[in-house]
């Protein structure tokens, strides 16, 4: 048994061992099926994927039943996975200005033909929102052997009573606020709004802004002696723009900082003590700082907002650490074949994407910690990527010879006393029409 197979099974055992007996073994097989990429040739079908890893028909049915009806929640699997990664000691968190990045994002599993699905997500290629199973993703970010890796901590579902994406964003922000440690900085992309973060009373955050963002000073301008007295502060426009052929200049920054990293000189411009453009001046308004970070390798700068006055290198480092949270869905959906799914029960439509994201996080971490495996003789300089590890696992049937812990076993239930055949069908006779 290769070291990659052995380490993968050890990680799967650590994640599933504390689940109910029987369910834990069956769910381990479901996760192995996803890690080995069996969903790719089966085009997202569970039964062919489980059969492809070498399970007998009875084991296939047990694995499906554990996935569909098992007494488990994704939160306990994520907690066990995080504990396993920390115990290994290879993952190291990044710290900037005393804060660790906590990346936040939304991801969607497109289901355009699924009937009754009320949730939608914007599809860039289609140019419109399409039916999809949308999940909120929260992760801690660090590195393994110089490669940034995200550890999933929470997955947030859509509220069935309010399936809008705006409601999901509010739920994700509230989850972040409820679990935020004193030394963590939540990092959001431009899909989240400052008003949402302020409504959740987040003590700190880092969010990317749109290029045409405008704010206001939280201080009244000088009264001109005529007309109505001002209620709003002066408008601040961090970046210049052109509208209807007219050039609108940018507001001069309050301060400028420059620094050099790896021979590249960066520049950051700051505007302090700002509020949203529709907020009137008040002393107790929540304020924030806007920073435009210029990289000479790119034409447009990052426009970031943070209620704390952090340095340019800290802001750039924190926002760069948001990117690994997007690697998890990429590995899960593209490398492991989770983009296509053929489940239709409401609970299964949520559980399969959750397990797929967990598998994507696991294969990314395991690939970074294990020796790089060449795909073939032509692969002379292999990299530790999820795709290479998945291709190795795809050539290996489910390792029945691996020494499993005592709790990971089939549950021998007594069922001889149960009615069988037509007597076992849970059917009730319908009353005849009068």
Determine the distance from the C-alpha atom of residue 312 to the mean position of all C-alpha atoms in its chain, rounded to a whole number.
26
Which residue spans within 209-284 are E strands per DSSP? 215-217, 235-236, 241-243, 246-248, 255-261, 264-276
Separation CA 136–CA 167 (nearest Å)? 11
Q: Are the C-beta atoms of residues 260 and 266 closer than 8 Å to each other?
A: yes
Q: Are the C-beta atoms of residues 257 and 311 closer than 8 Å to each other?
A: yes
Q: Is 430 helix (H, G, I), strand (E, B) or coil?
A: coil
Which residue spans within 73-214 are E strands per DSSP? 92-93, 95-96, 99-110, 120-123, 128-144, 147-156, 184-188, 206-208
In Å, how far are 5, 90, 147 from 371, measured between CA atoms? 12, 13, 13
Q: How confident is the model at residue 409 (pLDDT cuts 50, 70, 90)?
A: confident
- Closest C-alpha to 101, from 371, 309, 248, 318: 318
Structure pTM?
A: 0.89
Q: What is the mean pLDDT of the chain?
A: 90
Separation CA 237–CA 214 (nearest Å)? 5
Task: For 22-72, write each residue's pLDDT tens digit.
Answer: 899 999 999 999 999 999 999 889 999 999 999 999 999 999 999 999 899
pLDDT on residue 431: 64
Task: For 184-208, write each residue's pLDDT tens digit.
Answer: 999 999 989 999 999 999 999 999 9
Task: For 311-321, write each residue's pLDDT tens digit.
Answer: 999 999 999 99
What are the respective helix, strand and coil percentages of the chain, to the nearest 5?
A: 30, 25, 45
Say yes or no to pLDDT of 78 above 70. Answer: yes
Q: How confident is the model at residue 433 (pLDDT cuts 50, 70, 90)?
A: low
Q: What is the mean pLDDT of residues 321-332?
A: 93
pLDDT on residue 167: 93
- For the ranges 11-15, 280-284, 364-368, 408-412, the lowest mean pLDDT is seen at 408-412
Neighbours of 260 (CB within 10 A): 9
- Closest C-alpha to 82, from 105, 108, 64, 102: 102
Separation CA 158–CA 107 (nearest Å)? 12
* Structure-derived torsion over alpha carbons of residues 72, 77, 78, 83, reported in degrees to the nearest 10: 140
The phi, psi pair for 215, rounded to 5°, reads -130, -170
Q: Are the C-beta atoms of residues 287 and 275 closer than 8 Å to each other?
A: yes
Task: For 338-355, write each residue's pLDDT tens digit.
Answer: 988 888 889 999 999 999
In Å, how far are 153, 171, 193, 275 from 156, measured between CA atoms? 10, 7, 18, 29
- Dihedral sign for Cα 68, 109, 139, 201, please: negative
Express as a percent the part of the chain with pLDDT over 70. 97
In this predicted model, which residue has the larger pLDDT, 107 or 229?
A: 107
DSSP 38-83: TTTTTTT-HHHHHHHTT--HHHHHHHHHHHHH-S--HHHHHHHHHH
pLDDT on residue 432: 59
pLDDT on residue 2: 86
- Closest C-alpha to 354, from 102, 12, 67: 67
Say yes or no to pLDDT of 434 above 60. Answer: no
In Å, how far are 55, 73, 172, 200 from 140, measured between CA atoms? 35, 20, 15, 20
Separation CA 11–CA 369 (nearest Å)? 12
Task: For 249-301, write each residue's pLDDT tens digit.
Answer: 999 999 999 999 989 999 999 999 999 999 998 988 999 999 999 999 999 99
pLDDT on residue 428: 64
pLDDT on residue 146: 87
pLDDT on residue 242: 85
Task: For 152-190, write each residue's pLDDT tens digit.
Answer: 999 999 998 898 999 999 999 999 999 999 999 999 999
Q: Is 104 helix (H, G, I), strand (E, B) or coil?
A: strand
pLDDT on residue 430: 62
- Residue 128's DSSP bridge partners are 123
Q: Are the C-beta atoms of residues 302 and 168 closer than 8 Å to each other?
A: no
Ramachandran region, residue 233 (left: φ > 0; alpha: ψ -120 to 50; beta: rest): beta
Say yes or no to pLDDT of 415 above 80. Answer: no
């Amino acid at each position: 048994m290769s070291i990659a197979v052995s380490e993968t099974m050890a990680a799967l055992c650590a994640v599933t061992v504390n689940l109910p007996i029987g369910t834990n073994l069956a769910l381990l097989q479901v996760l192995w099926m996803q890690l080995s990429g069996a969903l790719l040739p089966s085009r997202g079908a569970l039964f062919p994927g489980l059969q492809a890893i070498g399970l007998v028909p009875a084991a296939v049915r047990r694995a499906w039943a554990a996935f569909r009806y098992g007494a488990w929640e994704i939160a306990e699997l994520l907690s066990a996975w995080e504990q396993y990664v920390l115990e290994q000691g290879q993952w190291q968190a990044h710290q900037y200005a005393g804060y660790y990045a906590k990346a936040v994002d939304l991801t969607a599993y497109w289901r355009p033909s699924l009937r009754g699905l009320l949730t939608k997500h914007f599809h860039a290629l289609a140019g419109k929102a399409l039916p999809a199973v949308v999940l909120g993703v929260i992760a801690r970010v660090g590195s393994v052997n110089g490669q940034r890796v995200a550890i999933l901590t929470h997955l947030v579902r859509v509220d069935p009573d309010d399936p809008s994406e705006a409601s999901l964003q509010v739920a994700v922000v509230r989850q972040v606020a409820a679990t935020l440690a004193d030394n963590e900085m939540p990092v959001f992309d431009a899909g989240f709004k400052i008003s949402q973060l302020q409504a959740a009373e987040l003590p700190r955050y880092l969010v990317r802004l749109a290029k045409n963002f405008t704010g206001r000073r939280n201080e009244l301008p000088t009264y001109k002696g005529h007309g109505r007295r001002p209620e709003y502060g002066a408008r601040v426009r961090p970046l210049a723009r052109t509208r209807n052929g007219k050039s609108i200049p940018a507001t001069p920054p309050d301060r400028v900082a420059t620094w050099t990293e790896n021979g590249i000189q960066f520049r950051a411009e700051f505007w302090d003590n700002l509020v949203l453009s529709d907020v009137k001046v008040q002393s107790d308004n929540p304020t924030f700082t806007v920073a435009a970070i210029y990289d000479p390798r790119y034409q447009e700068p990052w426009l970031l907002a943070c209620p704390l006055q952090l340095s340019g290198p800290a802001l750039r480092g924190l926002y760069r650490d948001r990117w690994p949270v997007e690697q998890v869905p990429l590995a899960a959906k593209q490398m492991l074949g989770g983009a296509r799914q053929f489940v239709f029960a409401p609970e299964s439509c949520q559980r399969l994407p959750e397990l797929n994201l967990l598998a994507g996080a696991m294969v990314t971490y395991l690939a970074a910690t294990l020796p790089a495996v060449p795909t073939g003789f032509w692969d002379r300089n292999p990299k530790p990527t999820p795709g290479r590890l998945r291709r190795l696992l795809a050539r290996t049937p489910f390792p029945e010879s691996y020494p499993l812990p005592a709790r990971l076993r089939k549950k021998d239930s007594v069922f001889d006393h149960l009615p069988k055949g037509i007597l076992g069908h849970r059917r009730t006779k319908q009353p005849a029409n009068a």
